[in-house]
Structure 1
Amino acid sequence: MKHNPDDRSDNARRIQRNINYTIKNIEAAEEMIAKTPDEKAKKALADKNERRRRALDAMRNEMRDETKGGK
């Protein structure tokens, strides 16, 4: 079985793309929270955004590692 080489040359670009998508998702969820009268949906969206914010922190840390050449 032939293994693929470990190519991380595009990691920074991939991480930045994921950061951008996550920010857009947070913004879209905030708009939905403002518009929906459903309290259960608001809570679910707020909870999901909290998880997204934690993921953003992790992605930003990973981006710092990548740009420092830490990996």
Structure 2
Amino acid sequence: MAKPDNRNDNVEKLQQMKENTEHNIEAAEESVAHTDMKEEQKQIVKEKNERRKESIRGFEAEIADEMQARQNGYPDEQ
């Protein structure tokens, strides 16, 4: 029998993932600013950071959904 879905800590997990992604953006920006990179490498880092920012928006939407579900008492999902 499958374990029931436990969503009690989803908000916290998503928040941690968002914070990790924000940290990765900052680290990448510092790397670009303080390292001798070729322009091509800088562009790759900038594009990756844009994808990270998209992920953050997704995390924020999921966090909002999970917080709403938490307030509504999480319907039973099995």
Q: Is the structural similarity TM-score above 0.5?
A: yes
Aligned pairs, number: 70
Higher normalized contact order (CA 8 Å, seq sep 6+, divided by chain length): 2
Give 1:43's aligned residue. 43
Question: Following superposition, which runs of at least 4 residues in structure 1 exceed 4 angstroms of deviation?
Answer: none
Q: What is residue 32 of structure 1 aligned with on the other side?
A: 31
Structure 2 distance, partners of 1:36, 1:49, is 17
Gaps of 5+ in 2: none
Residue 60 of structure 1: aligned partner = 60
| 1:4 Cα offset (Å) | 1.5
Structure 1 stretch displaced more, 36-45 or 26-35: 36-45
Larger radius of gyration: 2
How big is each residue's C-alpha offset from its partner over 1:12-54, in whole Å with a ceiling of 9 and x where there is no partner? 0100000110000000000011123321211111010000000
Gaps of 5+ in 1: none
